[in-house]
Amino acid sequence: MSPLLTSFSPVSAALPMSSLMTPAPMSEAASAVAPAAAEGVFSLMWLIIVLPAIGAAVLLLGGRATDRWGHLLGAATPIASFVLGVVMFAQLLGRPEDDRAVAVTLYDWFDAGAYHVEMGLLLDQLSVLFVLLITGVGSLIHIYSIGYMAHDDRRRRFFGYLNLFVAAMLMLVMGSDYLTLFLGWEGVGLASYLLIGFWQYKNSAAVAAKKAFVVNRVGDMGMALAVMLMFATFGTSSFAGVSAAASEASVSTLTALGLLLLLAACGKSAQVPLQSWLLDAMEGPTPVSALIHAATMVTAGVYLVVRSDFIFNEAPAARTAVVVVGVVTLLWGAIIGCAKDDIKKVLAGSTMSQIGYMMLAAGLGPAGYAFAIFHLLTHGFFKANMFLGAGSVMHGMNDEVDMRRYGALRPFMPVTFLTFAMGYLAIIGFPGFSGFWSKDRIIEVAFAENIWVGLAALIGAGITAFYMTRLVLMTFFTRRRWAEEAHPHESSAVMTMPLIVLAALSVVGGVLALGDWITEWLSPVAGIEHHEAGLPAWVFTILITVTVAIGVAVAWVLVGKRDVSSTAPANVSVATKAARADLYGDAFNEAVLMRPGQYLTRSLVYADNKGIDGTVNGVGGLIGGSSGWLRRLQTGFVRSYALAMLSGVVLVVAALLAVNLA
């Protein structure tokens, strides 16, 4: 290893940008602190990404030879990365507050004229949290998958894809340039596609994978355009370069950049209007839903917005757009979650809704960045916990996903129930649990920003309490509505152990906020700004708790007290129908985008066939026809040619003579 290390260490010099940069004033954007050069353990930073990448390569290229131990290798690599991440986090903790960003330049990625992109990694306060979340939750989910996928004969490939995802996600959060971020961005998109369609023999899975991929392309277009615009405006796309130059750019450019980045974030984080793919993405194996479509990948949009704080801070319009998207999505996802009977889809709607909270917080600017990331982390814990719990339930119920076929599972799955309950309490914001701390802060800041935004966030919290209570009641309480062949049982230790760890994290995740630790920690990256709401904090706490209690009570009255039928009732209100149809998001896409697109394509094909092809073929036919006529002159008789030649001679001589005589 040491020769490899020495080959890397000289490259890992300070960023060239650092000399150009002057630290921006704290009030504007605190993220412009020059990252320090990597030394010591940080020179191994690349290993965090490379380990899972090697795992993916070995598992995907190794073939059947790795079938026997592939899942162990697949689980080992994120654990190793996690250990590395923890060590680096500890190192960062020991450093002074303004010297916690470490950059490594691995090599020049490409050098095209004025555009110079380095393959560089940046580990700062923000990305190290993500590294810990990704590798930590990722490791747990890998371990869980060993049990969950035990009966799948393609388990090795599953682990290969998971490792690929982890590597790409780490690339996304550790890249020091928007283009390296984009590399990871596309990588997670690919891994997501592969994993949603992992059971591609199911038509629904294949279609869902394609849908996710296509919708993500729309967002990726925004990302690509943003990078191009950065290059056109600033001549660079590195975080350091853009943040240094952002304050001098025009507001309109920054607004355009912000909106493009928001589009990218919407695609990846399933925000309105690009939300439609997430519910279908639940076709993938449940650990995938937990890791990719709840805990990590879908939060990439939030990461992008927070990482681009230097752009959004200067572009209030773009920030407002982020807030609007966040508010709409948090209500949208919550409403969908109320009507779905598929346990994973309820959780998916909930994920959309919770990411809406994060976007809302991120859109509030320096006041909300830290809370967005805080909620992102706690959400990563409790949502992964609940997804894995749902997977455990499905595992015991013959892969049944319809909650109307569950009921009264509590005694049969005690561990699953207890861990799920921890996640449940966390997400609804039960006082003391992690969600309570993170969500309350967001709602508080939202109220401070705008009363209506705050109210929407508050109502969202109530709805969240309603649908999560409904989920828990329909699954673990009420009467049995099982299918006849169902034999519910508790899952094996390899699956319950991660559940326990995640449940513990869901409970105690709030400690991150102790003494505003996370705000202080992130302040060099995301800035800090205290908003004073009109009312003291305890008023909000009571307000939120009461709202949540109302939501729980309504759920108890509507679901817990009544007899839940084992099939979905058909005669329901218009609102329920709309919510069951994902609030007509797909119908909207189909009517507004797909149909006109198809018509456009068809008319273009028609124009191409008739107009352009017709012209081309017509010209060809004309020339061909006249050629056929002209070729009759080529009789092959030498005497005909001689006659033509003699006629030519006569003409030439006559011309000469005419000139002479004239």
Partner 1 sequence: MIAFWILAPIMVAAAVGMVLVRKAVHSALLLAIVMISLAILYAVLEAPFLFAVQIIVYTGAVLMLFLFVLMLVGVDASDSLVETIRGQRVLAFVAAVLLGVILVLGAAQAIVGPPEGLTAANLEGNVPGLASLLFSSYVLAFEVTSALLITAVLGAMVLAHQERLSPKPTQRDLALQRVRDYADSGKHPGPLPSPGVFARHNANDTPALLPDGSVADSSVSRVLQARGTVREAPRIRRTPGLPDDGSESAPTTGNDATTSGEGKP
Partner 2 sequence: MTTEPFVVLAALLFSIGALGVLVRRNAIVVFMCVELMLNAGNLALVSFARQHGNLDGQVAAFFVMVVAAAEVVIGLAIIVTIFRTRRSASVDDASLLKY
Name the residues that contact partner 2, by CB under 8 A.
Answer: 631-632, 634-639, 642-643, 646
Residue 382: enclosing H or E segment and its boundaries? helix 369-396
* CB of 618 vs partner 1, minimal distance in Å: 33
For residues 68 and 631, which CB has a smaller minimum distance to partner 2 in the complex?
631
Binding partner of 636, given partner 1, partner 2, none, CB within 5-8 angstroms per partner class: partner 2
Q: Which of 335, 331, 326 is nearest to 301 (CA)?
A: 326
Binding partner of 656, given partner 2, partner 1, none, CB within 5-8 angstroms per partner class: partner 1
Binding partner of 631, given partner 1, partner 2, none, CB within 5-8 angstroms per partner class: partner 2
Give me the sign of the Cα torsion angle 280, 283, 286, 291. negative
For residues 487 and 639, which CB has a smaller minimum distance to partner 2 in the complex?
639
Residue 102: enclosing H or E segment and its boundaries? strand 102-112
Q: Are strands 102-112 and 36-37 parallel, antiparallel or unpaired?
A: parallel
* CB of 610 vs partner 1, minimal distance in Å: 43
* CB of 656 vs partner 1, minimal distance in Å: 7
Q: What burial class does residue 3 get, using C-beta atoms within 10 Å of its C-beta: 0-12 exposed, 13-18 middle, 19+ buried? A: exposed
647 binds partner 1 (CB under 8 A): yes
Q: What are the φ/ψ torsions at residue 176 (nearest 5 degrees)?
A: -100, 10
Instruction: Annotate 258-306 with DSSP letters as a single string.
Output: HHHHHHHHHHHHT-TTS-HHHHHGGGS-HHHHHIIIIISGGGHHHHHHH
Q: Spell out the residues 6+ positions from residue 243 whose beta carbon is closer than 8 angstroms to its own.
A: 24, 29, 31, 32, 310
Binding partner of 661, given partner 1, partner 2, none, CB within 5-8 angstroms per partner class: partner 1
Give me the sign of the Cα torsion angle 462, 464, 467, 471. negative
For residues 150 and 653, which CB has a smaller minimum distance to partner 1 in the complex?
653
Q: What burial class does residue 632 get, using C-beta atoms within 10 Å of its C-beta: 0-12 exposed, 13-18 middle, 19+ buried? A: exposed
* CB of 657 vs partner 2, minimal distance in Å: 13
Query: Candidates 185-193, 517-525, 572-580, 636-644 — which segment interacts with partner 1 by CB under 8 A?
Result: 636-644
Gap between the Cα atoms of 357 and 397, Å rounded:
32
Extract the tokens encoding 501. Answer: 């760890």
For residues 633 and 658, which CB has a smaller minimum distance to partner 2 in the complex?
633
Binding partner of 565, given partner 1, partner 2, none, CB within 5-8 angstroms per partner class: none
Q: What is the dihedral of CA 546, 551, 552, 555, to 10 degrees?
A: 160
Please pick, from the candidates 258, 653, 659, 662, the single residue that binds partner 1 as defined by CB under 8 A.
653
The owner of tokens 């967005």 is: 372
Please pick, from the candidates 153, 399, 660, 662, the single residue that binds partner 1 as defined by CB under 8 A.
660
From residue 79, give the alpha-carbon distance in Å to each of 84, 94, 138. 9, 23, 8
CB contact at 8 A, 304 and 273: no
Query: How many C-alpha atoms does 403 have within 13 Å on its Cβ side?
Result: 26
Query: How many C-alpha atoms does 239 have within 13 Å on its Cβ side?
Result: 34
Binding partner of 638, given partner 2, partner 1, none, CB within 5-8 angstroms per partner class: partner 2
* CB of 606 vs partner 1, minimal distance in Å: 49
For residues 151 and 639, which CB has a smaller minimum distance to partner 1 in the complex?
639
* CB of 630 vs partner 1, minimal distance in Å: 18
- Number of helices (H) and strands (E), helices first, in the chain? 28, 3
For residues 587 and 652, which CB has a smaller minimum distance to partner 2 in the complex?
652
* CB of 601 vs partner 1, minimal distance in Å: 56
Interacting positions 606-635 with partner 1 (CB under 8 A): 635
* CB of 634 vs partner 1, minimal distance in Å: 13
Site map 112..141 versus partner 1, x via CB under 8 A: ------------------------------
- Is the backbone of residue 473 left (phi > 0), alpha (psi -120 to 50) or beta? alpha
For residues 150 and 644, which CB has a smaller minimum distance to partner 1 in the complex?
644
Please pick, from the candidates 446, 509, 650, 659, the single residue that binds partner 1 as defined by CB under 8 A.
650
Q: What burial class does residue 566 get, using C-beta atoms within 10 Å of its C-beta: 0-12 exposed, 13-18 middle, 19+ buried? A: middle
For residues 201 and 629, which CB has a smaller minimum distance to partner 2 in the complex?
629
* CB of 635 vs partner 1, minimal distance in Å: 7
* CB of 604 vs partner 2, minimal distance in Å: 40
Binding partner of 546, given partner 1, partner 2, none, CB within 5-8 angstroms per partner class: none
CB contact at 8 A, 415 and 500: yes
Gap between the Cα atoms of 466 and 556, Å rounded:
8
For residues 606 and 641, which CB has a smaller minimum distance to partner 2 in the complex?
641
637 binds partner 1 (CB under 8 A): yes
Interface with partner 1 (CB under 8 A), residue total: 15
Binding partner of 654, given partner 1, partner 2, none, CB within 5-8 angstroms per partner class: partner 1
Binding partner of 515, given partner 1, partner 2, none, CB within 5-8 angstroms per partner class: none
641 binds partner 1 (CB under 8 A): no
Q: Which of 296, 220, 291, 290 is nearest to 260 (CA)?
A: 220
Gap between the Cα atoms of 662 and 660, Å rounded:
6
Binding partner of 632, given partner 2, partner 1, none, CB within 5-8 angstroms per partner class: partner 2
Q: Please give the residue ranges that form the binding site for partner 1 (CB under 8 A).
A: 635, 637, 639-640, 643, 646-647, 649-650, 653-654, 656-657, 660-661
